[in-house]
Amino acid sequence: MDLRRYLVVKLRLAILGAVTTIVLTSCSTSPKSLEIPAQTMPAFSASGAAVTPDKWWTVFEIPALNEAIETALRDNFSLESASQRIRAANAVVSRESGNRQPEIDAIAVLEYEDGDDRNGASELQLGLQAGYEIDLWGRIRSGIESEKFRAQATLSDYHAAALVLAAEITATWFELTESQLQLLLLAEQFDTNTKVLKLLEARFANGRIRGADVLRQRQLLEATHEQSVVVQSEMAVLRNKLDILEGQAPQPNYRLNLSDLPALPPLPATGLPSELTLRRPDVQRAMFLVKAADRDMAVAVNDRYPRLNLGASLISVTDSSEQIFGDWIGRLAAELLAPVVDGRRRKSEVNRTRAVGRQRLAEYGQTVLEAFREVEDALVRERKQHERIRSLEEQVELAGRIYKQLGMQYLNGVVDYIEVLSALDSEQQLRRDLLSAQQSLLSFRIALYRALAGGFTLKSNRKNRQEPNESEQ
């Protein structure tokens, strides 16, 4: 029997003995998997029939808004940071997967000794050595699966970040639109108040009214101007915010081509509550973290079991460069490691991972409940906002009629101007409130789209790099 066959036989005997020892000494059972709790939820309080696309903001049919969001999804730095976290997570998966492959190292050792009896002798060693751990209990496999679930959770984070970014840009866009409309409305009201002031000044010059009436009207005119200054400041801040969201420096002189506030699209179909957990990225992230924690617990439990390591080496040792590849020494070995005393370190790790798993389960349940709450909040706010807008429209009409009647009575000397001024101020404020309420209605619809939406595919991000995905694993 040659050396190679002899070593193979010895290795098989060593493995057989190690496996027999493991079976006889290990009486532990496999770790119990964590079960994701099933949430039974009632149907949503309202539902429409409109089918919402993944890129839900397109339902508003505003090309400039669509372009702004596409720019942000490509150039936003926070989203780019999230994409790099995916690449880092995929790299961890690749690193852990390497534990299932043999590790091979090259050996090169040169020793030189000088002494009375060595006389400058040298020895050269060249060769290869390999090590491999047999994954008997699935510890390595569980570790890889855990990192894969974390990578999937990171990908869900990325989709959630993109969804939040799109919602924030859409909301900011409508806030800017409302500010622009408020500015136009204030300019109209400023003109109205200026005309009234000139009329009062003419009547005062003729001695037909008191000077206090003129001063009150001037105060209202200044208040209107002050409101315009506030709105202009808000518009500048919103423009800066929009620029940053799109991944570019603020451009103070840049003017957006804004239009009127869009009509509210039809109410989307909310679907079944169970579908929400399969659609929302944040719920998916929580689920993947539960699964990762489950695999971490399996790793901790299996770490208490014996390990079987295999080793092999092929080395040439010579004191002459001419014989460097002449004589080779081959070695095969099997090593069994079984923990005996570790100061309860492994047991404590099992307890820790079990507690983390239960924590992840609780977080998943809370995330599911929050998802349902967000949908219901958006539905009830939109429903009540419709009622508020109808009420404001009625108040605007009544306030206009009151102002006209009081104006006629004031000209006839029946009422004081303070009542006319109060009616005018109230009517103008109600018109501004109505505009704000219409913008809030759109904000509530955005919140509903965001609460119902799932992830969407991004073709590219900054510098035209492809969207990171699980294929990189």
The helix (run of H) or strand (run of E) holding residue 105 is strand 103-113
Look at residue 334 in the predicted model and tell me its pLDDT.
82
Q: Are 467 and 85 in contact (CB under 8 A)?
A: no
- Per residue in 191-228, pLDDT (tens digit) is 999 999 999 999 899 888 899 999 999 999 999 999 99
**Collapsed DSSP state (helix, strand, coil) of residue 127:** strand
CATH of 31-304+339-472, one of 1.20.1600.10, 3.40.190.10, 3.30.450.20, 3.40.50.300: 1.20.1600.10
- How crowded is the C-beta side of 168, counted as CA atoms within 13 Å? 18
For the chain, give the percent of residues with pLDDT over 70.
Answer: 84
C-alpha–C-alpha distance, residues 302 and 79, integer Å: 38
Residue found by looking up tokens 């915010």 in the block: 241
- Give me the long-range contacts of 134-138 (CB less than 8 A, separation at least 24): 134/308, 134/309, 134/310, 135/100, 136/19, 136/22, 136/305, 136/306, 136/307, 136/308, 137/302, 137/305, 138/298, 138/302
Cα 279 to the center of its chain, rounded Å: 14
Query: Facing residues of 129 across strands?
Result: 105, 313
C-alpha–C-alpha distance, residues 93 and 144, integer Å: 6
Look at residue 324 in the predicted model and tell me its pLDDT.
60
Sorted by sequence, the CB contacts under 8 Å of residue 210 that are 6+ apart come out as 204, 417
Cα 110 to the center of its chain, rounded Å: 55
Q: Which residues of 365-376 are buried (b: 16+ CB within 10 A; e: fewer)?
A: eebbeebbebbb
- How crowded is the C-beta side of 320, counted as CA atoms within 13 Å? 4
Query: Facing residues of 126 across strands?
Result: 108, 316
Phi, psi of 351 (to 5 degrees): -65, -40
Question: In whole angstroms, how far apart are CA 407 and each of 12, 195, 215, 419, 447?
Answer: 107, 14, 17, 9, 43
Look at residue 367 in the predicted model and tell me its pLDDT.
94
pTM for this prediction:
0.84
What is the residue-wise DSSP string for 331-358?
Answer: EEEEEEE-----TTHHHHHHHHHHHHHH
Pairing of strands 121-134, 329-337: unpaired
Look at residue 115 in the predicted model and tell me its pLDDT.
59
Look at residue 322 in the predicted model and tell me its pLDDT.
58
The helix (run of H) or strand (run of E) holding residue 112 is strand 103-113
Mean pLDDT of the chain: 86
Spell out the domain ranges in the chain. 31-304+339-472
The helix (run of H) or strand (run of E) holding residue 170 is helix 139-205
Look at residue 113 in the predicted model and tell me its pLDDT.
67
Look at residue 27 in the predicted model and tell me its pLDDT.
43
Phi, psi of 122 (to 5 degrees): -130, 155
The helix (run of H) or strand (run of E) holding residue 122 is strand 121-134
Joined together, the tokens standing for residue 44 give 């949503």
**Collapsed DSSP state (helix, strand, coil) of residue 138:** coil
- Residue segments in the chain with a per-residue pLDDT below the cut of 50: 1, 3, 6-8, 10-11, 13-14, 16-29, 464-466, 470-473
C-alpha–C-alpha distance, residues 374 and 451, integer Å: 6
Q: Are 94 and 123 in contact (CB under 8 A)?
A: no
Cα 455 to the center of its chain, rounded Å: 10
